[in-house]
Amino acid sequence: MVNYNSSSKWQTRRKLLTPAFHFKILQQFIIVFNNETRNLVEVLKKECHKSHLNVVPYISQFTLCTIKETSMGNSLNLKNEEDKTYFTTIHQIGKVLMYRLKRPWLYPKYPYFIFPAGMMEKKILHAFTNTVIREKSENFETLEETENEEFNYEKRKKLAMLDLLLNAKLNGLIDDKGIQDEVNTFIFEGHDTSAMSICFTLMLLASHKDVQELIVQEINHVLPDPNTPPSYNDLQELKYMERCIKESLRLYPSVPFISRTLEEDIVVSTGHTLPKSSMANVNILDIHRNPKIWPDPERFDPDRFLLENCVNRHPFAYVPFSAGPRNCIGQRFAVLEIKAVLCGILRNFILEPVDTPENITLVIGIILRSEKGYIRVKFTPRS
């Protein structure tokens, strides 16, 4: 049995999972991103004759397929009834978590897991991940390390997060419950955050045709052959696209607030003292729209992230992936995934606006969403 307090647990698991985001492993994940992008584009081609599409379910399926394959090492098959049920349930779990968060009497496991929402989480999500973990454990081989105690990335074709966790279990660093917690958390957070970021970005690009066409020009410059999928290095060259993604995340940070326990007394600008051990909630959405930092904050302007415009900006004025030692471990993964899918979509479609920033009302929960639950865009095939 593994015993540790919450701080040491986080540190241990962060160290375990860091190799899964090594750039050599991320290079291999580009294949998954491109394959799932191709599948998404084929679906959109069949649907683009409609007056508009709600992009949320299409993009959510894309990100869930990529995150499952890269974290668990196997793909999601929606023709399989078990996989289909898991897909449906994972989309409801955000509402379940918010429901539980607002009701302290549901924090203990006993009352929570006898409620329908808790039973759904336990019987479907936990059962599904347990099955995947068990099946992968049966054929798992211990990962070899080099003399420098680093994994030999050259010999690993694709190092899924689950591989690292199973290896840590063999070394006594984590138990089955810990593996289940990490896989569930990573799949939920990893697919939903990226999905909403992509959806908001598509809406912004549809609403700003000039920006959309500049990205297309950049894609055509970096990838002149329209049939060639982007490589890791190609995606690194898409600098203007990256600025657009950053500006989209400024306006619509997928995680709109974070909480931190203070390790010391903090005196804020008003002169008040926040005592040690109290919880501080950081409203990222407000930080990103502060007019003292971001002139005309509601305006979509990718040039805010030109190097010369970032020089004198406070390093914590832009924190879509949090900051410090507890920042998002998957931020490079997410940006590469968003770049890959934008390449596929913009090479094949012109985006036309239906929903725009002016008519979207935001709802702040665990993930930032549109109040109505949909984001509509028209897809016109690109000749």
Feature table: binding site for heme: 328
- Cβ pair 319, 287 in contact under 8 A: yes
- Please give the Cα distance from 105 to 92 (Å, whole number): 21
Tokens read off for 219 = 């894609």
What's the Cα-to-Cα distance from 41 to each of 58, 325, 330, 379, rounded to whole Å? 10, 37, 24, 11
Residue type at position 239: K
User: 376-381 and 349-353: which strand pairing?
Assistant: antiparallel
Closest of 300, 190, 293, 185 to residue 247, by C-alpha? 300
- Cβ pair 303, 309 in contact under 8 A: yes
Buried b (16+ CB within 10 A) or exposed e, 123-135: ebbeebbeebbee
**Residue set of the binding site:** 328
Backbone angles phi, psi at 330, to 5 degrees: -100, 20
- Please give the Cα distance from 72 to 376 (Å, whole number): 31
The CB density around residue 110, as the number of other CB atoms within 10 Å, is 8
Residue 306 forms beta bridges with which residues?
none
- Please give the Cα distance from 330 to 259 (Å, whole number): 18
The residue with tokens 């919450």 is 6
Helix (H) or strand (E) run with residue 187 in it: helix 176-207
What's the Cα-to-Cα distance from 19 to each of 24, 156, 194, 217, 303, rounded to whole Å? 9, 12, 21, 35, 33
User: Which region, left, alpha or beta, applies to residue 172 given φ > 0 means left and ψ of -120 to 50 means alpha?
Assistant: left
Where are the alpha helices (H) located in 208-351, listed in sequence order? 209-222, 232-237, 239-251, 284-288, 307-310, 331-348
Tokens read off for 352 = 């036309």
